[in-house]
Amino acid sequence: LERAPLAGRSREELAQFLAGEKAAYDELVAAGLVLDLTRGKPASAQLDLSDRLLSLPTTAVDRDGVDTRNYGGLEGIKELREMFAELLWIEPEQVVAGGNSSLVMMREVLVDLWLHGGVDSERPWSQEESVKFICPVPGYDRHFTLTDWFGIEMVTVPTDENGPDPDAVAELAGHDPSIKGIWIVPTYANPSGSIVTQEVAERLASMSTAAPDFKILWDNAYAFHHLTEEEAKSADILSLASAAGHPHRPVMFASTSKITYAGAGVAFLGGSVETVKWYTGHLGKGAIGPDKLNQLRHVQFFGSADGVRDHMRRHAEIIRPKFDSVLSVLEEQLGGLGIASWTEPTGGYFISLDVQDGTAARVIELAKGAGVALTQAGSSFPYGRDPHDRNIRLAPTFPEPAEVEKATRVVATCARLAAAEQLVG
Ligand code: PMP
């Protein structure tokens, strides 16, 4: 494959390139593929790793003598809180073990802030004249749809491999009291794979904010989801915030959705002891206790925090070849052409592909025509608006390896074709 940048080629060379890509694309359409790179779901081989859960727990009474079959224990069983406190580098009393979805916990926290305000609020957020949230982009689409659901206005800040631009965040949060918080996926971010550095975390934890009850919603969904030996350690945001005099600023979330079962895992919330009390206090208005039996079987399944770490290595063995396959096809098909760049994550569930500006929607449409479903254009941006129309989120975990490779070839061909169409005009 010729690797010279497209932008430097003559009109005839471009026309020839375009014709070649059209032919390649038509061949793909004729092949009648049905492939899907849309959502970050674990593959069934990954779910199988946890099938011992299906015969657990072997007893319903936990270490502390709690009969997990009964009501009660809103904050979750102690053993599991201890295990995940160790993994998240916080204290057990700073952790709540809940139901099967951390996203639900995020919604609950926002509902509680909306109706009652946080432990450090002057009034419920619903009584503010306006509420705005900082959204680092590209980011997780469900954070944005959730925020929008409240009518909270979203303000974007750029991200790089170290997380959000701390100057842009401090500037916004420092002057406008209606800016009430920020979404952060600190480790192996969705979709960029970026890791918030200690320095960026310190800035976020210590910056002065115009709103006294500014919240960092620290969604550590991929805290343990390493793809390489180089296991990133998330910054300890709770200690940093506490040391800076803002102990109630961060609310942390995590879950075992991509550790055990996406539909039957356990979700966690972390925060100051006051935040934990605040959360369970509100939770108690509509719940008597979580599914402690599921929590207990997770305790028995993992055995210890190290059990979780070992289990994650088995996931990596399944996932890593799929990521390698995407990366090698992208390099082979798009490298050197000057029409695309992409992330090479060391963990998480996604590869973020930037195609030629102004062509992402076209690439996604072309891929659909060839039977490959990609996440909607703009989905990693608030209101679905990618200002450069260039970002595409690739989620390679769910399909079989051979399908991942085929689907990526289609994406690459579509990116080449769309870029050539644009350059030829
Ligand atoms: N946060 C992020 C950043 C995610 O990517 C996902 C899953 N796509 C979730 C949260 C959902 O987590 P849960 O299954 O615990 O609701």
| Ligand 1 geometric centre to CA of 253 (Å) | 9
CATH 1.10.1060.10 describes domain 6-46+309-424: no
Rounded CA-CA distance 328/331 in Å is: 5
Query: Which residues of the chain does CATH 3.40.640.10 include?
Result: 70-303
Q: Which atom of ligand 1 is nearest to the CA of 100?
A: 15
Q: Which atom of ligand 1 is nearest to the CA of 255?
A: 15
Ligand 1 lined by 380 (C-beta under 6 Å): no
Q: Which atom of ligand 1 is nearest to the CA of 185?
A: 3
Before 138, cis peptide (omega within 30)?
yes
| Ligand 1 geometric centre to CA of 332 (Å) | 31
| Ligand 1 geometric centre to CA of 102 (Å) | 7
- Ligand 1, atom 8, lies closest to the CA of 40
| Ligand 1 geometric centre to CA of 381 (Å) | 16
- Ligand 1, atom 11, lies closest to the CA of 103
Ligand 1 lined by 185 (C-beta under 6 Å): yes
The two three-digit tokens of residue 97, written as one number: 């073990």
- Neighbour count for residue 337 (Cβ, 10 Å): 22
Ligand 1 lined by 40 (C-beta under 6 Å): yes
pLDDT of residue 39: 84
Q: Would you say the ipTM is above 0.85?
A: yes
- Each residue's pLDDT expressed in tens, for the chain with a length of 425 residues: 678 999 999 999 999 999 999 999 999 999 999 999 998 999 999 999 999 999 999 999 999 999 999 999 999 999 999 999 999 999 999 999 999 999 999 999 999 999 999 999 999 999 999 999 999 999 999 999 999 999 999 999 999 999 999 999 999 999 999 999 999 999 999 999 999 999 999 999 999 999 999 999 999 999 999 999 999 999 999 999 999 999 999 999 999 999 999 999 999 999 999 999 999 999 999 999 999 999 999 999 999 999 999 999 999 999 999 999 999 999 999 999 999 999 999 999 999 999 999 999 999 999 999 999 999 999 999 999 999 999 999 999 999 999 999 999 999 999 999 999 999 98
pLDDT of residue 394: 97
| Ligand 1 geometric centre to CA of 104 (Å) | 10
Task: Tell me the CATH number of domain 70-303, given options 2.60.220.30, 3.40.640.10, 3.30.565.10, 3.50.30.40.
Answer: 3.40.640.10
pLDDT of residue 1: 64
The β-bridge partners of 373 are: 36
Does residue 182 contact residue 164 with C-beta atoms inside 8 Å? Answer: yes
For a pocket test of ligand 1, which of 46, 101, 142 has the largest count of ligand atoms closer than 8 A to its C-beta? Answer: 142
The closest alpha carbon to 205, from 176, 182, 172, 188, belongs to 182
Q: Which atom of ligand 1 is nearest to the CA of 39?
A: 8
First to last CA, the chain: 23
Query: Which residues of the chain does CATH 3.90.1150.10 include?
Result: 6-46+309-424
Number of residues in the chain: 425
pLDDT of residue 351: 97
pLDDT of residue 11: 94
Rounded CA-CA distance 141/348 in Å is: 16
